[in-house]
Amino acid sequence: MNQRTYLDHNATSPVRPEARAALLEALDATGNGSSVHGEGRASRTTIDTARGRVAALVGAEAGGVIFTSCGTEADTLALTPDFRRGETPVTCDVLLVSAVEHAAVLRGHRFPADRVEVLPVDARGRVLMDPFAAALERHAEAGRRALVSVMVANNETGVLQPMAELARRAHAHGALIHTDAVQAAGRIPLSLPELGVDMMSVSAHKLGGAPGAGALILADPNLRPAPVFAGGAQERGRRAGSENVPAIAAFGAAAHAAAAFVEADGVRINGLRERLEDALRCEFPELVLLVGDVDRLPNTSCLALPGVPAETIVIALDLAGVAVSAGAACSSGKVAASHVLGAMGVSERIARSAIRLSFGWSSGEEDVDRALGVFRRVLPGLLRRRAAA
């Protein structure tokens, strides 16, 4: 337990040194970004610098960045029926979401339940194009504007969606499209213009910033979603409440650092993941690698040991010094199979045993070495218990 191996970066990533320094510097400063005195102007400069850095991470305009408290709030801000483009109302009549979205999208939207349609996915978790096109055409023919929300990369499997094609089809039918890029930002190169989406959600703590900051990034800064709550005129009237300057400063520093290394880090981290997966599959053929044959994030691996509950594997690894996540959701002491794996048609026996390993900016070869050592000590015992059950 003296040396732990952290393989849960998709849950939260350690704070980068650059982000920590920016956070501490902002904590030592005094001033509200809405004030006109020197201290207030200094805080406004800190916020604007961070805004530019977050925008640059995804090739967006700084004016399109709306800072929020987290990715969930950014999703909720985006998923509203009511927008304005300048002074012109833009109303969305229905919300189309993929079946594998994060709960922040599936439950965090502001549409009535009867105006939400769930899009099916294939066995790899990618949106099925024919049903998607049919839904867009059906609503367009009925005079309904759709708002589409599909994540760039899945938080459990890492699978990448064909966002540019989804956006092209959505816009061809007059729809708006939002993407939750919380897991992708800072891990793979992203370009808001190339993806073609109208809105993108990102979160600081997934890429090495501090918790407490996220952002909704608009391709067109003149597009304004209805605010989540009323209040002051912060963020150009799009998100009321005094800005969390220290968390925003750390967000900007983390985004700047991630952008500088995103391609090289992606290659390096992909090598770590492949080395771990190859060794585990060779030594433990009982392990099932889910979605190993499709484009996914370089850092994410979803594995299952059928017949052994995911929480049992997670606890055994944790006690031995390796932190991973279960692919199942736990609520009130009951463990349910992942809705993501269920939508993909994965059997419940496999889904209930699925775990997620996720690397990040601070991961190195030593993490793979230690993880392999722990798996070699832990898995044989779990397999014996499975056989005896």
Residues with a catalytic annotation lie at 330
Instruction: Give the DSSP letter of residue 162.
Output: -
Rg (CA), the chain: 22
Distance in angstroms (rounded) separating the CA atoms of residues 224 and 227: 8
Distance in angstroms (rounded) separating the CA atoms of residues 93 and 13: 37
90: exposed, middle or buried (Cβ count in 10 Å: 0-12, 13-18, 19+): middle
Q: Which of 187, 219, 197 is nearest to 149 (CA)?
A: 197
CA atoms within 13 A on the CB side of 263: 1
Residue located via tokens 């594997």: 313
Helix (H, G, I), strand (E, B) or coil at 13: coil
Strand 354-358 and strand 325-326: the pairing is antiparallel
Task: List 302's β-bridge partners, or say none.
Answer: 290, 356
Instruction: Give the DSSP letter of residue 205.
Output: G
- Residue pair 343/99 in contact (Cβ under 8 Å)? The answer is yes
